[in-house]
Structure 1
Amino acid sequence: MLANYAARRAALMAQMAPGSVAIVATAPEVARNSDCDYPYRHDSYFYYLSGFAEPDSVLVLVAASATAPAKALLFCRAKHAEREIWDGFRYGPEAARTAFGFDAAFPIEELDAEVSRLLADAPAICYALGGSLDAQVKVWLRNVRQKARSGVTAPASAVDIGPLLDAMRLLKDQDEQQLMRRAAAIASAAHVRAMRATRPGLYEYALDAELLYEFRRSGAQAPAYNSIVAGGANACILHYSANNARLNDGELVLIDAGCELDGYASDITRTWPVNGRFSAPQRDLYQLVLAAQQAALDMVRPGLAQNLIHEAAVQVLAQGMLDLGLLDRHSCGSVEDVIANKSYLPFYMHGTSHWLGMDVHDVGAYRDTSAAGKPWRALEAGMVLTVEPGIYVRPSEGVPEHFWHTGIRIEDDVLVTPQGHEVLSSAPKSVAEIEQLMSQD
């Protein structure tokens, strides 16, 4: 992976004007309460370019010019024997330079002086405009302008580095793909573990604990996001997170949970019966969502527009809503009418797919903003995304009561390949597979 980080830095600098300076800072530590911090998680952009996971760190890249080669500089915490007794190992600049392949490394306390020097006569400064560095950039530029009498000039332009990195992160290399396969495999095993543990009378948090156990047992560092464990009517709350209700006989439970492995996320949703057997109405709705997911998966291949994934799912769901009586044919009309009028929205109100990578909702534009009309982006090999249709039925006049309080979502992680796609997640999702698994002791 070390060579990958260096290659990414080189690719970014190749897009910068000669002699320009790029600055990428990692995330700060955040206090939880009193003298306790939240578990630390690095900034994704910073880690993507460096592989360095310590806080209080900044990466500075200087693009090659006619008179000087490109260079990558790290600023990080100095070695500190006493703090390491309390907080654990830290590399320090020299060891970090050697271990992570930087051209030079400095204590973080030298950042202001060194960056002010590097910005002198640089044509542009590149960073995340409007972010946490804005105030510090003003200080650096003021320091440079104070030397104007000696002939030094400050950068004439500021370039938003975000879109450049977003485009790079959208296409995963082979090492990233392998990490995401592993993250999906761990999360899939966690869903299987939760299925096997499910029974009436448990509380949602008991299944949450099963997920966490499998994540950590298998080497994942943390959940990739707050897990959703939603029994019964709670499954109709899209971002439900309380996870403290009792699981009742005859209900479904929806679990949306993924893990983070070495900086990369998985994101999987499965829905299953608390007692191990789908009722007839539950089965009808479940089979509809499963069919919608298959139609959406069929749209995942290079060259097809990303929005076709959602459109394929909506087409199947809209037809099913009419067939099952969730929507009235007399008042709603044909499938085409349902889609045109968005009559399906009370039962399906979210998108079907999003990018996946270092962030659960990963970076990268969904439309080509440089082209006329801003068309949807065409899928390319190396992209990773989710495919996650669902249906959510709340009590409402005209809606058959046997469907009330039912929420179903089926979500998989999918890699776009040169030939089509690869589904990375593997937890059971057919009715037969789920019922068979849950019937085993």
Structure 2
Amino acid sequence: MKYHPIDPALFVKNRAKFTAKMKPGSIAVFNSNDIYPIGADSTMPFEQARDLFYLSGADQEETILLLFPDAIEPKHREILFVRETNEHIAIWEGAKLTKEKGYEVSGIKTVYWLKDFEKIFFGLMTEADTVYFNTNEHYRQSVETQTREDRFIKWCKEKFPAHKWEKSNPILQNIRGTKEPREIALIGQACKITGKGFRRVLEFVKPGVWEYEIEAEYMHEFLRNRSRGFAYTPIVGSGFSACVLHYIENNQQCKDGDMLLMDVGAEYANYASDMTRTIPVNGRFTARQKEVYSAVLRVKKEATKMLVPGTLWGEYHQEVGKIMTSELLGLGLLDKADVQNENPDWPAYKKYFMHGTSHHMGLDTHDYGPLKTPMQANMVFTVEPGIYLPGENMGIRLEDDVVIQEQGEPLNLMQDIPLEIEEIEEYMNK
């Protein structure tokens, strides 16, 4: 792995939080992700299943974590199963986790080879009444591929039909939403790397460069700072493309007078960052660009202030909508009749700002976390308002990642990344 080793105390604590919410006499099982094929002998780069990583720190394929707090034998209350390694694998694929290294990474004392899983699992199931299955229930998930987790659940239900089943997801939604200090530090490191990439790009962008060249500048900076690369598919859209919310082609030339929207973020140690900045391609904002940019920035600043303990996610978005409505009225994009006659299910401001303002951040860019209960300290959220004007070939979005504090305004993990108009122009015109 490119990242520095993580203190396994983090994963020990995460497991303790999970097992404290398990029912008596129950086993929880977590599988690694598959390595997905492309064609011939090619595969996609491996990325670990986030729940498994969250609970173990194990960052390789063919890995299983088993938690059984009520196991008769203490050594079987936490077990990590890893692929058996040897010298041949080490030469051809690189070093894999040994049993000793598995313990060092995870803090789990009992590490077995994966080939022994079925035998050991059968013995433990004779002691258990319930199995926790790890299903993906994120509100934005749209998975069409069968995963190792899916195959395990199917196998387990056929093999042990008399057992009861529970879902791990409600527990994970709860505990993953509130971050440990070490997690916040890892997200912060990802944000710092993103900031380095942005500063590099500010000095690179000029009329005539191509969007993919800008993407390459980010990747260069990310990799040289121990990141694996982008935390999600980057959006680098100039002119009209900035109005396409999920524009990822990044294949157009940046023209003099256009605004350039960049929604990018580095990952670090599997933790994500999520930043959006919008800059003038030629290094100078026009009066109109300043006007719209300043409106988005004001909404962002006011929205950030509302991310405090006790805030409800749904009500927060309604309040941000009111602030945005006021700004759009000031810009002359809406009039009072538009607001008075608006559809409550699709308010007038949605014509120019059609997406949400904030989502949980962490191991996933759109991370697990409760959305129907009050926000708590140490939750990490994005703040990302935008105004999109296709008729003017201009879309402006601004986004930072912030940590809710016990008291006062949230901590902005991207506070050192240029955001104000004057800062951006100064960097671009050095």
Q: Does 1:124 align with 2:135?
A: no
How far apart are the structure 1 equivalents of 2:344 and 2:55?
43
Measured after TM superposition, the shift of residue 100 of structure 1 is 2.8
How far apart are the structure 1 equivalents of 2:298 and 2:344?
17
Question: Residue 296 of structure 1: which of 292, 303, 311 is its match?
Answer: 303
Residue pairs, 1:246-257, within 5 angstroms: 246-257=253-264
Q: Does 1:436 align with 2:430?
A: no
How far apart are the structure 2 equivalents of 1:312 and 1:423?
20
Question: Residue 133 of structure 1: which of 127, 149, 152 is its match?
Answer: 149
For structure 1, the 5+ residue unaligned runs are 146-153, 368-376, 396-403
1:315 alignment counterpart: 322
Number of residues paired by the alignment?
A: 411
Is the CA contact 2:339–2:348 (under 8 Å) kept in the aligned structure 1? no
- Classify the secondary structure of the residue corresponding to 2:347: coil
Measured after TM superposition, the shift of residue 132 of structure 1 is 4.5
Measured after TM superposition, the shift of residue 313 of structure 1 is 2.9
How far apart are the structure 2 equivalents of 1:261 and 1:76?
23
Q: Does 1:358 align with 2:358?
A: no
**Larger Rg, first or second structure (1 or 2):** 1
How far apart are the structure 1 equivalents of 2:331 and 2:155?
63
Q: Structure 1 residues 319 and 138, CA, compared in 2 at 3 Å: closer, same or farther?
A: closer
Q: Structure 1 residues 209 and 103, CA, compared in 2 at 3 Å: closer, same or farther?
A: same
How far apart are the structure 2 equivalents of 1:220 and 1:68?
40
How far apart are the structure 1 equivalents of 2:154 and 2:388?
49
Is the CA contact 2:312–2:371 (under 8 Å) kept in the aligned structure 1? no
Q: Does 1:381 align with 2:377?
A: yes
2:412 alignment counterpart: 423
Q: Structure 1 residues 176 and 121, CA, compared in 2 at 3 Å: closer, same or farther?
A: same
State, as a whole percentage, how many aligned pairs show the same letter.
32
Q: Structure 1 residues 64 and 341, CA, compared in 2 at 3 Å: closer, same or farther?
A: closer
How far apart are the structure 1 equivalents of 2:407 and 2:221?
33
Measured after TM superposition, the shift of residue 79 of structure 1 is 1.5
Measured after TM superposition, the shift of residue 2 of structure 1 is 0.8
How far apart are the structure 2 equivalents of 1:79 and 1:341?
56
* Cα offsets for 1:78-109 (capped at 9, x unmatched): 01211211110012335423553223222212
1:372 alignment counterpart: none
Question: Residue 347 of structure 1: which of 340, 346, 352 is its match?
Answer: 352
How far apart are the structure 2 equivalents of 1:211 and 1:139?
43
Q: Structure 1 residues 99 and 349, CA, compared in 2 at 3 Å: closer, same or farther?
A: closer
- Classify the secondary structure of the residue corresponding to 2:350: coil
Q: Does 1:405 align with 2:412?
A: no
- Classify the secondary structure of the residue corresponding to 2:378: coil
How far apart are the structure 1 equivalents of 2:291 and 2:157?
63
- Classify the secondary structure of the residue corresponding to 1:158: strand
Is the CA contact 1:129–1:159 (under 8 Å) kept in the aligned structure 2? no
* Cα offsets for 1:93-126 (capped at 9, x unmatched): 3542355322322221222222122111411001
* Cα offsets for 1:357-402 (capped at 9, x unmatched): 00000001211xxxxxxxxx3221110000000011122xxxxxxx
Measured after TM superposition, the shift of residue 134 of structure 1 is 4.4
Is the CA contact 1:269–1:411 (under 8 Å) kept in the aligned structure 2? yes
- Larger deviation: 284-293 or 103-112? 103-112
Q: Structure 1 residues 122 and 437, CA, compared in 2 at 3 Å: closer, same or farther?
A: same
Measured after TM superposition, the shift of residue 345 of structure 1 is 1.5
Q: Structure 1 residues 143 and 229, CA, compared in 2 at 3 Å: closer, same or farther?
A: closer
Q: Structure 1 residues 201 and 25, CA, compared in 2 at 3 Å: closer, same or farther?
A: same
Q: TM-score of the superposition, structure 2-length normalised?
A: 0.90
Residue pairs, 1:90-239, within 5 angstroms: 90-97=96-103, 99-129=105-135, 132-144=148-160, 154-155=162-163, 157-239=164-246
* Cα offsets for 1:172-222 (capped at 9, x unmatched): 111011111111111112112111111000000111111111111122122
Q: Structure 1 residues 89 and 362, CA, compared in 2 at 3 Å: closer, same or farther?
A: same
Letter in structure 2 aligned against 1:354: H
How far apart are the structure 2 equivalents of 1:189 and 1:304?
32
Letter in structure 2 aligned against 1:72: E
How far apart are the structure 2 equivalents of 1:405 and 1:97?
55
Q: Structure 1 residues 354 and 99, CA, compared in 2 at 3 Å: closer, same or farther?
A: closer
For structure 2, the 5+ residue unaligned runs are 1-6, 137-146
Measured after TM superposition, the shift of residue 327 of structure 1 is 2.1
Q: TM-score of the superposition, structure 1-length normalised?
A: 0.88
Measured after TM superposition, the shift of residue 309 of structure 1 is 3.8
- Classify the secondary structure of the residue corresponding to 1:4: helix
RMSD: 2.0
How far apart are the structure 2 equivalents of 1:180 and 1:416?
14
Letter in structure 2 aligned against 1:191: F
